[in-house]
Amino acid sequence: MIKKISFLIGILLFGLQYAQQNKEQLQKQNADLKKQIIQINSDLAKTRNESKLSISYLNNVNKKLALREKVYNNTQKEKRFIEDEIYLRQLEINRQNRELGVLRKNYAQVLVNAYKNKGVQNKVTFILSSKSLGEALRRVQYLKQYSDYQDKKAAEITNTAVELKKSVEQKKRSAVEKENLLANQKKDLTTITVERQQKEQLVTEFKKNESKLTGELKQKQSQSKALEGQIKAIIAEELRIAKAEEEAKKKAEAEKIRLAKIAAEREKARIDAEAKAKAEALERERKLAEVEAKKASELAAKREEEDRKRTAEAAKAEASAKDEARKIAAKKALDEANEKSREATEKLKAARDAEAALAKKKEDDKKAAESKAMTNFGVSAPSAGSNFAANRGRISMPASGTITHRFGKQQHPVFKNIWEENNGIKISVAKGTSARAVFPGTVSQVIPSADGTKTVMIKHGDYFTIYSNLSSNTVSKNQQVSAGTIVGSVAQDFDGTYTLDFQIWNGSQAVDPLGWVSY
């Protein structure tokens, strides 16, 4: 039974701890969401007068409303966690009350027993009535333990009462927290209702101005279509010129390579002839060295054999002074033969090394002759080409802001009968924002539009980046730019927002910029 109670207590405590952790996570998340809401409110306040009837403004309102609803949903979850916490705390209070009741009942019984056996005389009589000294000592020990047991039970009651009081206080705090949460939730719900009405009012304003806005939108789409035609034509011409230049370059390069190879072959033939003459001389020297080394080796072997025999004979015939002299002379002759053999071996090695060095020098000279011929005839080294594609996903954004229109065919968020075909993305930015080149390249063209805006095209090898709806440009055709170079200032769009139209083209094909930039 005790084990079951302990197990249930453990489950309750774990449940309380888990609920507390989840509640704290929700509170942290709500704090972050509220910071985002404050930022959106700040952005809306800045653009309220100049761009109220814009997609950017409506997007921010929708985003803020979504964040509000997420905060409300998180608060609902937090409320459930608090309710679970109150319930679990009540179970704990009930358990502690039961435990306290049992402890008090047991202690009351202890007090009754103590009352029945009260008085010093009774205790003295109880001890003196012992049959032996050992029994008397045991009775003294028993009385002491009984007294300690009474104190222990009293302490248990006190501790359990303290814990019960703490549990009750924690439950009260949770109840107050729940009341505060409900009050805040009510405020959040009121705010959501108000903001939802504001959104509906904004959509109504859009629809009131539908004819004007749709007219301006269609005009903008018509301008975008015309610009798209210009961009395609410029890219096609750039690609045609690049292809023609590449073909001409390849032909010129091929002729240079042909002439360079002829010159290189002549130089290689001369090197081969010179190397052959040197190789023959070195071969003769090597063969002579081989003969000398062989003779020296044979002589050293002969001297060594003679010395061995002489040593053996001298050992048999009790070495005399004459034999000793002969022995010294033989040793000298052997050393001389060994030295000659060593010199001959080194000479042979040097001859072989000289042959190997000559062969290597011949190959190196031939390579150098080929490289020199290529250089003399102006043959260019292989080009590394543009590494734009290698940086996919790591390219910076052209301006800091909110993406209001994505790549491809998109339905208008208010006028459902209107579809927009975007070759890139549109970024809503603050007034005075500059557009920057996202990668090193060459300005291919600066295109003026009928509405007074400018478009800058930058070439990056086979890729192009397009920066449209600029009020002014700070770069010119054929200018080399680096990543981060300012290309112009973002202009105000027809709906009052400052919007940059950014595109990436792979040759003659527009691609989704969000697959390339880091944002």
Q: 473 near 466, Cβ under 8 Å? A: no
Options 3.20.20.150, 2.70.70.10, 1.20.200.10, 2.60.40.420; CATH of 392-515:
2.70.70.10
Backbone angles phi, psi at 407, to 5 degrees: -70, 145
Question: Averaged over 230-245, what is the pLDDT?
Answer: 86
Q: 174 near 89, Cβ under 8 Å? A: yes
Sign of the torsion angle spanned by Cα atoms 265, 271, 277, 278: negative
Q: Distance from first CA to last CA of the chain, Å, rounded?
A: 61
Question: Averaged over 100-125, what is the pLDDT?
Answer: 64
pLDDT tens track for 376-386: 766 655 443 45
Question: Averaged over 330-341, what is the pLDDT?
Answer: 69
How would residue 11 be classed by pLDDT, with cut points 50, 70 and 90? low
pLDDT of residue 387: 86
pLDDT of residue 300: 72
Collapsing DSSP states into helix, strand and coil, what is residue 476? Answer: coil
Residue ranges of domains in the chain: 1-213, 248-311+339-375, 392-515
- For 9-75, the DSSP string reads HHHHHHHHHHHHHHHHHHHHHHHHHHHHHHHHHHHHHHHTTT-TTSHHHHHHHHHHHHHHHHHHHHH
Collapsing DSSP states into helix, strand and coil, what is residue 321? Answer: helix
Written as six digits, the tokens of 326 are 């002969």
How many CA atoms within 13 Å lie on the side-chain side of 152? 6
Question: What are 513's strand-pairing partners?
Answer: none
Distance CA 346, CA 338 (A): 12
Q: 369 near 267, Cβ under 8 Å? A: yes
Question: Which range has the top average pLDDT, 125-134, 362-371, 395-404?
Answer: 395-404
Residue 471 has pLDDT above 90, yes or no: yes
pLDDT tens track for 398-407: 999 888 888 9
Average pLDDT of the chain is 77
Q: Looking at the whole model, is its pTM more than 0.85?
A: no
pLDDT of residue 53: 60
Collapsing DSSP states into helix, strand and coil, what is residue 498? Answer: strand
Q: 117-139 burial, b if ≥16 CB within 10 A, otherwise e? A: eeeeeeeeeebeeeeeeeeeeeb
Written as six digits, the tokens of 377 are 């005839």
Contacts of 425 (CB under 8 A, 6+ apart): 403, 405, 406, 407, 501, 502, 503, 512, 513, 514
pLDDT of residue 110: 65
* Distance from the Cα of residue 29 to its chain's centroid: 23
Matching residue, tokens 């249930």 = 8
How would residue 280 be classed by pLDDT, with cut points 50, 70 and 90? confident
For the chain, the residue count is 519
